[in-house]
Amino acid sequence: MKKAILIISLTLLMVSGTSARVITGTVTDEGNNPLPGVNILLKGTQTGTVTDVNGAFSINVPESGATLVFSYIGYKTQEVKIKSSSSLLVMMEPELVSLEECVVVGYGVQKRCDVTGAVSTIRGISYAPASSKSMAFNVPAQNFNTEGYSAIHENGFKSPLREPLSTFSIDVDAASYSNVRRFINEGQKPVTDAVRIEEMINYFDYDYPQPQGEHPFSIIYELGTCPWNKENKLLHIGLQGEKMSTAEVPPSNLVFLIDVSGSMNSPNKLPLLVKAMKLLVSQLRVQDRVAMVVYAGSSGLVLPSTPGNQKEKINAALERLQAGGSTAGAAGLKLAYEVAEENFIKEGNNRIILATDGDFNVGPSSNAEMERMIETYRNKGIFISVTGFGMGNYKDDKMEIIADKGNGNYNYIDNLMEAKKVFVNEFSSTLYTIAKDVKIQIEFNPAYVKEYRLVGYENRLLNEEDFDNDKKDAGELGAGHTVTALYEIVPADGKGDQTRQLKYQQSEVLPKATITNELATIKFRYKKPDGDKSILMTETIPHTALTLAQTSENFRFSAAVAGFGMLLRNSEFKGNITYDEVLAMARSSKGTDKDGYRAEFIRLVELSESGLTTMHVE
């Protein structure tokens, strides 16, 4: 990784009538590009901030003797003593990681040639509980497994004559994108199976119209030229959930389930987790309630269900958290569900928020056992959302299962900016479901479609009979959430594989298929949050295609993200897409970008284009 110079321009503003002053500044790299997500802490205190998407920050400091600590993943921590100067030049050097292949061997990343023995264990630290009962998590720490990801076998092309129906569950998880960002910010190419293209696409909001009728979401579709294969078409399908203000969200019964095991003893784990949860607490109202369960060598209730306006009490419990011990995740999960059930709010939002690195390695914690427990409480109306932290021993596969089975969403938090996005900007959509078990089924017209391929959603595919089965679980849509899906389509006169000749049957296109202008018929099924019977919606998609230049910003930006994901995966379906083409599409479709997320995406593509180190997970 080459060195980067961070130029920090500090403008000192005196705050009249106080003994403090405000420091404002901007953090950039040597190319004058803003660096978002840089952590800034007033040394010796808990006062801190983080640079925004434009690399800007503002922080209150004492009149004299102040030192700011700047830290950024992949760089050495720097301390800057504030003097009278109005500007400072600070060089942050990258951590000494080889440009050779990197291997995850436990906690963190080491050069293969530097590994001379086992990775050191993390020292257990006792936890001082908030309750009157004494609990100490002093179990000696152990070495933990490396990162875990479920294998993804990309969807291939299918013939509508042989497989006319494409059926899948929606996915509003966004963990893959922020996890991929973490890899890239460290100068590493993401692990292939960490790249889930549908989650990368759905990390971003799109300018879809709000629903106008009886249904809680609107539907849009657009057909244009496929950017990575100009001979094919790309079908863009979008859903827009009804937006709700925080005041409109029903009262919440929340249980924070927090991993305080030894594996969380890292700056980007428990300390970041505490700051993230405080952001969520800042959004709570008097009608909301929060309890807190922790787990390590054992599990315990450290905060009984508390009204959301008692923020000092809730934050004090968070501040007392310390990491140490092994990981009894299943026991903590069981206790959290019991607490949620005891404080159940009828017609409210009853939800566990699990915050962990996913390393459940002590006690009965098989996926099958967890799934049965989660499904049981899901049917009682208690959902679970998952927020992941950290690296090295990160268990993405296990956390994805928990959120999927628990009617919740799954996010990965790599910095305070992401915590703000999840718990402040998207508070309503993160916590409140407006439609559950949302399924999509599309029938393509073989008169216009020789072959089709769903881009991503490999772990959300359903059998065609599952669409009409109300007992089959599917994804949830939060208030204000958008969902986007892309299909690559080979036109009827295109160069797709020839249809195999069958001995005992013959597939034919009905005459009416050739006289209609319908590319496909799309169906949706969903249930109300407290409902058991699904509601059906049906739309037809016209066979009207645009050139890429004529398509909307929504279309081009989602295609840019998909193309980027295929490049990172080195997908066999990436066609002739290049980083330059991805950048051109992204820049042309950046739009207003109020929160700067699309600008950050462009920066990640630029970093990837310059070359990333390959990392193997062993």
pLDDT tens for each residue of 169-201: 998 889 999 999 999 988 889 999 999 999 999
Neighbouring residues of 608: CB distance < 8 A, sequence distance ≥ 6 = 184, 189, 564, 567, 568, 579
pTM: 0.77
CATH class (in words) of the domain with range 4-92: mainly beta
- Report the C-alpha gap between 601 and 598 in whole angstroms: 5
- Note whether 4-92 and 250-407 share their fold: no
Contact between 324 and 141 under an 8 Å Cβ cutoff? The reply is yes
Q: Is 275 left (phi over 0), alpha (psi -120 to 50) or beta?
A: alpha
* Architecture of the 250-407 domain: 3-Layer(aba) Sandwich (3.40)
Q: Measure Cα distances from 543 to 161, 296, 372, 514, 540 in Å.
A: 18, 57, 44, 11, 10
Amino acid at residue number 134: S
Phi, psi of 30 (to 5 degrees): -65, -20
Token look-up 């790299």 returns 29
Is it the case that residue 17 has pLDDT exceeding 90? no
Is it the case that residue 474 has pLDDT exceeding 60? yes
Query: Is the pLDDT higher at 571 or at 77?
Result: 571
**Minimum mean pLDDT range among 268-272, 285-289, 362-366, 374-378:** 362-366
The structural domains of the chain, with segments of one domain joined by +, span: 4-92, 165-244+434-497+513-608, 250-407
**Minimum mean pLDDT range among 15-19, 232-236, 308-312, 385-389:** 15-19
Average pLDDT value for residue range 517-546: 93
101-130 residue pLDDT tens: 333 333 333 333 332 222 222 222 233 333
Which CATH number fits the domain 165-244+434-497+513-608, given the four candidates 2.60.40.1230, 3.40.50.1000, 3.40.50.410, 3.40.630.40? 2.60.40.1230
**What token pair was written down for 422?**
């999840």
Indicate the pairing of strand 518-527 with strand 67-71. Answer: unpaired
- The rounded Cα 491 to chain-centroid distance in angstroms is 34
Amino acid at residue number 122: I
Q: Is 323 left (phi over 0), alpha (psi -120 to 50) or beta?
A: beta
Is it the case that residue 80 has pLDDT exceeding 60? yes
pLDDT computed for residue 113 by the predictor: 33
